[in-house]
């Protein structure tokens, strides 16, 4: 993709793909496809999974778990339950990273994305109605100080007895 002629949305997604270097890339939506297809053409050893924006769950699960999924122009068109199913399936099938560009007109709120483990990454300066939400399997659930053997009952028995 020629970033000189790219929209700000496409340039942002291209940066995410370049940083992630996925071996399997899933895309859903026109902007996502405009970024994913040229990237996979430049990297022929990488695989592309195309999901239909009208029926995105038909392509899931694929024969491989995507390392990265890009979703654009999709949640705005789908009923909220179908959109939640798409994001939940991508997440539950083990996709390591998910990037979603969503328009303010979509029936989604900030807390809807938080409930699925997403973080609000950015609002596009060129179009304040577009927001980027991301999910990263490696960092969505941070380590808590209380969630370790030191604070559980009988930590001195760890590894000694099973009951």
pLDDT of residue 57: 67
Q: Which helix (H) or strand (E) holds 91?
A: helix 80-92
pLDDT of residue 154: 67
How far apart are the C-alpha atoms of 71 and 74, rounded to whole Å? 7
What are the average pLDDT values for consecutive 10-residue runs of the chain, which has 163 residues? 71 94 94 95 94 75 85 91 90 93 90 93 84 89 68 68 63
Domain-by-domain residue ranges, the chain?
A: 25-138
pLDDT of residue 30: 93
Q: How far is CA 108 from CA 18, 31, 70, 88, in A?
A: 28, 19, 17, 14
pLDDT of residue 136: 93
> In this structure, what is the dihedral angle of CA atoms 64, 70, 72, 74, given to the nearest 10 degrees?
30
pLDDT of residue 152: 65
Query: Is the dihedral angle over the CA atoms 79, 85, 90, 91 positive or is it negative?
Result: positive
pLDDT of residue 58: 74
Tokens 């990037």: give the residue. Answer: 99
Contact (Cβ atoms closer than 8 angstroms) between residue 60 and residue 77: no
Tokens 């609000």: give the residue. Answer: 120
CATH architecture group of domain 25-138 = 3-Layer(aba) Sandwich (3.40)
CA-based end-to-end distance of the chain: 58
Contact (Cβ atoms closer than 8 angstroms) between residue 76 and residue 105: yes
Q: Check residue 57 and give left, alpha or beta (phi > 0: left; psi -120 to 50: alpha).
A: alpha
């Amino acid at each position: 993709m020629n970033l000189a002629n790219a929209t700000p949305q496409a340039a942002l997604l291209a940066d995410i793909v370049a940083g992630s270097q996925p071996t399997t890339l899933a895309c859903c939506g026109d902007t996502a496809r405009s970024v994913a297809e040229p990237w996979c053409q430049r990297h022929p050893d990488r695989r592309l999974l195309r999901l239909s924006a009208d029926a995105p769950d038909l392509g899931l699960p694929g024969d491989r778990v995507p390392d990265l999924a890009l979703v654009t122009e999709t949640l705005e068109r789908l009923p909220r339950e179908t959109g939640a199913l798409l994001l939940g399936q991508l997440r539950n099938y083990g996709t390591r990273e998910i990037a979603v560009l969503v328009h303010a007109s979509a029936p989604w709120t900030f807390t809807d994305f938080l409930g699925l483990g997403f973080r609000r990454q950015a609002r596009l300066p060129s179009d304040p109605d577009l927001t980027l939400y991301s999910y990263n399997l490696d960092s969505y659930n941070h380590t808590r100080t209380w969630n370790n053997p030191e604070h559980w009952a009988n930590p001195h028995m760890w590894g000694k007895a099973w009951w």
